[in-house]
Structure 1
Amino acid sequence: EYLVAGTIPKLGKGYSNEVLISQYLANRLHLKVGSQFNTFFLAQGQNTLPKARRFTVSGIYNSGVKDFDSVYLIGDIKHVQLMNRWRPDQVGSFEVFVTDFNRIAETGQAVYQETGSLLNTQTITEKYYYIFDWLKLFDFNILIILCVMIAVSTINMVVALLVLILERTQMIGILKAMGATNWSVRKIFLYNALHLIVRGLLWGNGVALLVLYIQKYFGVIRLDPESYYVTTAPVSIDYGYIALLNVGTILVCLLVLLIPSYIITRIVPSKTIRFD
């Protein structure tokens, strides 16, 4: 998914000279798909000449993470094994992929316990801790924004309900004079408020989902990868979270609206019916 040009290197039984290079390095080295370049590997020991290999660029990738793109060149591991005199089953390091990212710390500890004392293990959250600290800051900002949005929506609904009650003061007095209870009158305004809330949520969800789908499939909003580690603003649409947020907004608004609807119990029919 990060390939921007060319193809993945073709690996076979022999030694493949095709490599995958990052767009960051390709721009700095003035390379393109099909270009050939010399690579020098420093050997251990004194008076040892560097070992040279000539590779061909088969593809160019861009992960959006400069710390990765500026370091890694992807190719046939047989070259490294030959220069280091390793056996075919020997590697410098390997990665373990987890299915549940929330348990990465637990999995990392389990892998560490099974690893020999001469080797070390490190989870991705430990290796790139600064990136994940940056993401946690985003999560905190999202929580603050959601709290502010819910607070603003509840205040707007309280004001709207108060206006409705004040405009219908005479109607409330007539209903109470005809025998309507305070709770039955309050339910009329709460149902009206619920109608307004649901109607607003339908419009809001429609516009929001439209914008999210446009960003997800077309990537309209672009970002600087050196600052944000991605080229476009990423979008994740979780219908479960959306439904939960909508239900939570409705419940919070209705609970808050119970307070201004209490004004109805203070309205006296004998005074409001004469009100002009």
Structure 2
Amino acid sequence: MSLFKGSSTFIARGLQRTGQRGSKGISGSLRLTTLGVAFSLSVMLLSVTIILGFREQIHEFAFSQTGHISINSFGSDWRNSNTPIHVSPELLTFLRQEPYVERVTPIIQEAGLLKTEDNFAGVLLYGIDSTFRGDYFAHNLREGRLPQTNLQQGHAMPEITLPVQTAERMGCRVGEKVRIYFFGDKMRVRVYTLVGVYESTGMELSPALCPISSLQRLNRWDDNTYSRLMLMLREPSHAERDLSELIASLQKRPNLIGQQDYGLNLGEELQPELFNWLTFLDTNVYALLSLMILVGGFTMITGLIILVLDKSKQIGILKALGATDGLLRRTFLLLAGRLILRGMLWGNLLALALGLVQQHFRLIRLNPANYFMSSVPIHFAPWAWVGINAGTLLLILIMILVPAGIVSRIRPAESMRID
């Protein structure tokens, strides 16, 4: 009967202590193994955290301009079309009552020319109301605030928030008045009070925000006429399904549409360059995750092989005393698991520390013209961290099953032989 039944944990602790007190080579090998796992895991965690940050920022920017679903004049280009759509109050109520729609935001967009005594610049204005979801603009405010949208008759002057590139180029400061010229059948000029400047992306013409009523008066449109509608969904991941359901619902109620020809598009369809860029980043991250898993796994395999070979005499003694191959395999797997968990702990702490430093101090800067943002974004997602940690532990344990089987090839008579 074996003396070692159920004692794999005890043996693993003993081998770990002797490894730490043993030769510098073995002790250093165990430290390098732990560091290899820690480095690989921290790189994976930071990579996913950064990619999620990019995804969140790009999604906020893209959908703040188009919505998850855009309704505009059929056949028009949402970026620069001045073709208006008439939206009846009944249609607006119907859209807002759909269970999958979070909010419906009307937009009026108008191109103009911001001019000072010394310079001029083209500017795209978005007329917005209180339903506008301005999270992206609010999070990226460099100075001031977003404009008030409840502009009433007799209000002294409408407010405007400019992108930082335009404000810096024109030398405009918060609190000053800016003049914007609009061209059509005749030139018109409107004066706005600059109340805010936001950190815009690398888009060629980031929008300025102003009250929707100011542009309705400029174009002499009634309260039910807009450039387009933006639909924000409760579940953006189901946008394609919700769009199909919306089209089917509208086809059943032609009275809501009347004579107006609407074009309905997904936000991702309207800005494919942004989402294709995100897909490219995702591909790179998958490749990096696979590479780091292999680095961590092979580091662990190397350390385990060195440890098994170094402890061959102890293994021979344990076998002579009745220890089975299965017991010894479990022992070395437990020892490897302790090293992996230690490395994972340091890897998590390192990734968390670096992520928090970047999130608060933005030390690593980016060129907005290439990356649509001024610094490397960070977004912590607990589910992603848990998944990466669990997956790393499982995959590395699977990878070390083969080297753990080396103990079955060690023969007591050979390993205990005195040279």
Same fold (TM over 0.5): yes
Taking CA–CA contacts closer than 8 Å with sequence separation of 6 or more, which of the two structures ends up with the larger relative contact order?
2
Counterpart position of 2:45: none
**1:40 counterpart (177, 181, 186):** 181
Deviation at 1:17, TM superposition (A): 2.1
Partner of 1:230: helix, strand, or coil?
A: coil
Letter in 1 for 2:193: T
Counterpart position of 1:66: 203
- The two structures have a TM-score, normalised by structure 2, of 0.61
**2:186 counterpart (42, 46, 49):** 49
Q: How far, CA to CA, are the matches of 2:265 and 2:176 in structure 1?
A: 35
Structure 1: gaps (5+ residues): none
Counterpart position of 1:91: 226
Deviation at 1:83, TM superposition (A): 3.0
Partner of 1:32: helix, strand, or coil?
A: coil
Q: How far, CA to CA, are the matches of 2:302 and 2:404 in structure 1?
A: 11
Letter in 2 for 1:269: P
- Give runs of aligned pairs for residues 251-270 of structure 1, distance below 5 A: 251-270=394-413
Counterpart position of 2:160: 19
**1:230 counterpart (356, 373, 379):** 373
Partner of 2:264: helix, strand, or coil?
A: coil
Partner of 2:231: helix, strand, or coil?
A: coil
1:171 to 1:243, Cα distance in 2 relative to 1, 3 A? same
Deviation at 1:111, TM superposition (A): 4.2
Counterpart position of 1:190: 333
Structure 2: gaps (5+ residues): 1-138, 252-256
Partner of 2:207: helix, strand, or coil?
A: coil
Letter in 2 for 1:28: R
Q: Deviations over 1:116-161 (max 9, x none)?
A: 5612123221121111111111111111111001111111111111
Q: Deviations over 1:137-192 (max 9, x none)?
A: 11111111110011111111111111111111111111111111111112221111
Letter in 2 for 1:60: V
Q: How far, CA to CA, are the matches of 2:387 and 2:147 in structure 1?
A: 45
Deviation at 1:109, TM superposition (A): 3.6
Q: How far, CA to CA, are the matches of 2:351 and 2:369 in structure 1?
A: 28
Counterpart position of 1:248: 391
Counterpart position of 1:5: 143
**1:218 counterpart (328, 339, 361):** 361
1:233 to 1:111, Cα distance in 2 relative to 1, 3 A? farther
Deviation at 1:194, TM superposition (A): 0.8
Identity %: 29
Deviation at 1:207, TM superposition (A): 0.7
Cα RMSD after superposing both structures: 1.9
Q: How far, CA to CA, are the matches of 1:24 and 1:108 in structure 2?
A: 35
Q: How far, CA to CA, are the matches of 1:107 and 1:27 in structure 2?
A: 41
Deviation at 1:213, TM superposition (A): 1.3
| Contact 1:170-1:273 at 8 Å conserved across structures | yes
| Contact 1:20-1:61 at 8 Å conserved across structures | yes
Counterpart position of 1:107: 242
| Contact 1:150-1:249 at 8 Å conserved across structures | yes
1:36 to 1:240, Cα distance in 2 relative to 1, 3 A? same
Letter in 2 for 1:136: T
| Contact 2:304-2:403 at 8 Å conserved across structures | yes
Count of matched residue positions in the alignment of Structure 1 and Structure 2: 270
**1:75 counterpart (191, 196, 210):** 210
Partner of 1:73: helix, strand, or coil?
A: strand
Runs of 4+ in 1 over 4 A off after TM superposition: none
Q: How far, CA to CA, are the matches of 2:313 and 2:321 in structure 1?
A: 12
Letter in 2 for 1:231: S
Deviation at 1:110, TM superposition (A): 3.8
Counterpart position of 2:296: 153
